[in-house]
Chain A
């Protein structure tokens, strides 16, 4: 049976500023959703709120998995329930080797009941799996021994996110502009990689400004965010249209949100 990630009337603020103003969205395992929208419309905010970033405060509404409210769970608990976010800006963790970090992460996510200090998954099996996965993603095995994102190029960081996705096999994967900053070969590798990974077990939300990723991973639904709300939902052709013609038409169709967007931008520049 496929699980559902359900977002109902979600309001989120950062500090005193309300960013999301009533987002509704339902993602079932096996579905691919694209989320588009102009810069600053709140896409990353939605992704962070779903993952449980403490700075992004839910003031109203619920996030639930299969009917269970997860609003109050911390990011670690959410990860263990099968949530994953490929970050738009992955951070660097100096001195922590990719392999060491991933072994602990995989141990926790595959054994959600694991307590601190309990044994990790077998080193040998983990290594083999990591090596195989890296090969599939065209990554040099050397990366496993490097410090997490330390000195990685922009594209390498994005690939590292996909590697983590592949190893953690989430039920719901949120990809925040994973295709930006990649050269065209890398976009293809990442896109193919994701296509291989996604399937009936994984619900995917792709946040993107480009089309390539969506070519390989054809969305079942495309959503448009404007001023903290999802204002339109369509199929793959909507993504195509937005990419070809920009957001002018969307703004015209939603004058109220367009006005809010403008207001927000003016405040930001004051």
Chain B
């Protein structure tokens, strides 16, 4: 039975078009609410994990419980860790054909346009629904070349050595409260290995969907791009609109070996009741390149600062981020660049838009460690505020322990000028069309760096956010 509510009335919450949900009646398993050793052990047991992983989880739980909540960033006072389901399994199997995916779930992905995108321009897809991946595909040629693209649980089972070599080496549970939480209860996510010299021409995409109310989704992604290989990985996220909150707290670890390239594109479009507290970090070795393209349009609170550690000479890192904070939303996002070696290069471009009382914060760190001579870093962050109720702040931190470096930082905050609106309106554009056009123009330098399909998607989402914003 489907309780797909899109046809009913309660979907009109804001302008969010992915706020529908499916029935949870036929779910394979739902843990009880709350978090303790028992729940953590249960998750590990159900997954049939080796002992080391169960112990890792339990140790991480201790760390999580010990660590205080961060005193900076957004307001998390309403976040109740005991009011959350930590493990929910909608389906017993992961399927290789959409036809085999339970109907409700398949329909949801149809509406999100995933199977269609897969046919057109993706080399592989993972669809995670609640805690587990329900569908997975990978282009056969790539599989033959040794590419691994699987869910992280299967990664642990099927590639134990590779897995253990890298898992939690980039982001240990001690890193922060939420990486500890994820380490304790992680489930799903992508495990990717690109062998030396293999190039992936079309993106691999993962799609994360939360369906249950009070759900916690804790995917764990581990990507290894080996020497001279390249990858473009894309993730999208949506959830139903509920009156109570859900939590999404992912950990993403990436290793880019010598001469490798990895581009990781996120289009986060969670509903307004999701706390999105994510830790993402990449380590880049000699002459490698890591790019984070980070679009944050939804959620109640997002705290996310994708980091790049430039480990060896010639390594480069780039973060392009767009944040759109609307009514009731706080986007606290940014980037972190750590220059650990000489002759490394980084660039951060951040654009934020605040509207209808939304709040966006840029929080960024550029760090140059001792001995990392001749580094260059360029940071540009621009904020656009659409009305007097909305807010924007900038917290750029710079820590430099070396003198031979070139660090540039530019920041701007602007409002839509009355003269710009007048100009466009005097050419027959409505006020809404005019502001949408100004906003689209504001993010254009960033959007044009995206592959065509994602640029179109990003513009469409921004237009949706802008609809009904005026008058």
Query: Do A168 and B428 touch (CB < 8 A)?
Result: yes
Nearest CB in chain B: distance from A63 CB, A: 14
In the complex, A80 has a CB within 8 A of chain B: yes
Task: List A contacts of B434 (CB < 8 A).
Answer: 76
Q: Which residue of B lies closest to A92 (CB)?
A: B420
Q: Which of A83, A101, A109 has most B Cβ within 10 Å? A: A101
Query: Do A51 and B419 touch (CB < 8 A)?
Result: no
With A91-B419, A93-B420 given, is the CB distance from A79 to B427 under 8 Å?
Answer: yes
Query: Do B441 and A79 touch (CB < 8 A)?
Result: no
Q: DSSP class of B's interface residues: helix, strand, loop or mixed?
A: helix
Which chain B residues (396-440) contact chain A, with CB distance < 8 Å? 417-420, 422-434, 437-438, 440
Q: Which of B437, B441, B445 has most A Cβ within 10 Å? A: B441
Once bound together, how far apart are the Cα atoms of A100 and B463, in whole Å?
15
Query: Do A75 and B419 touch (CB < 8 A)?
Result: no
Query: Do B423 and A90 touch (CB < 8 A)?
Result: yes
Query: Do A54 and B422 touch (CB < 8 A)?
Result: yes
Q: DSSP class of A's interface residues: helix, strand, loop or mixed?
A: mixed
Residues of B within 8 A of A (CB): 417-420, 422-434, 437-438, 440-445, 467
With A54-B418, A54-B422 given, is the CB distance from A94 to B442 under 8 Å?
Answer: yes
With A95-B440, A104-B437 given, is the CB distance from A87 to B423 under 8 Å?
Answer: yes
Contact among B418, B432, B433, B445 for A95, CB-based, below 8 A: B445
In the complex, A41 has a CB within 8 A of chain B: no
Q: Which of B418, B425, B433, B444 has most A Cβ within 10 Å? A: B425
In the complex, A84 has a CB within 8 A of chain B: yes
17 A-B pairs with CB atoms under 8 Å apart are A52-B425, A74-B425, A74-B431, A76-B429, A79-B426, A84-B426, A91-B417, A91-B419, A93-B438, A96-B440, A102-B427, A104-B433, A108-B433, A109-B427, A116-B430, A148-B441, A164-B427
Query: Do A79 and B425 touch (CB < 8 A)?
Result: yes
Once bound together, how far apart are the Cα atoms of A109 and B426, in whole Å?
10
Given contacts A96-B438, A147-B441, 4 further A-B contacts (CB under 8 A): A54-B418, A75-B422, A79-B427, A168-B427
Task: List A contacts of B431 (CB < 8 A).
Answer: 74, 76
Contact among B418, B422, B426, B441 for A96, CB-based, below 8 A: B441
Query: Do A94 and B441 touch (CB < 8 A)?
Result: yes
Q: Which residue of B lies closest to A148 (CB)?
A: B441
Question: Nearest 6 A-B pairs (CB), nearest first?
Answer: A95-B441, A95-B444, A108-B428, A96-B441, A105-B427, A79-B428
Q: Which residue of B lies closest to A102 (CB)?
A: B427
Task: List B contacts of A117 (CB < 8 A).
Answer: 467
Query: Do A96 and B437 touch (CB < 8 A)?
Result: yes
Task: List A contacts of B445 (CB < 8 A).
Answer: 95
Task: List A contacts of B420 (CB < 8 A).
Answer: 91, 93
Query: Do B423 and A76 touch (CB < 8 A)?
Result: no
Once bound together, how far apart are the Cα atoms of A68 and B419, in whole Å?
27
Task: List A contacts of B419 (CB < 8 A).
Answer: 91
Contact among A53, A83, A95 for B442, CB-based, below 8 A: A95
Query: Do A75 and B440 touch (CB < 8 A)?
Result: no
Contact among A54, A76, A91 for B428, CB-based, below 8 A: A76
Q: Which residue of B lies closest to A107 (CB)?
A: B428
Nearest CB in chain A: distance from B470 CB, A: 10
Once bound together, how far apart are the Cα atoms of A96 and B418, in whole Å?
17
Once bound together, how far apart are the Cα atoms of A76 and B433, in whole Å?
10
With A91-B420, A116-B433 given, is the CB distance from A52 to B442 under 8 Å?
Answer: no
In the complex, A55 has a CB within 8 A of chain B: yes
Flag A60-79 by CB within 8 Å of B: 1 or 0 each. Answer: 00000000000000111011
Task: List A contacts of B432 (CB < 8 A).
Answer: 116
Task: List B contacts of A187 (CB < 8 A).
Answer: none
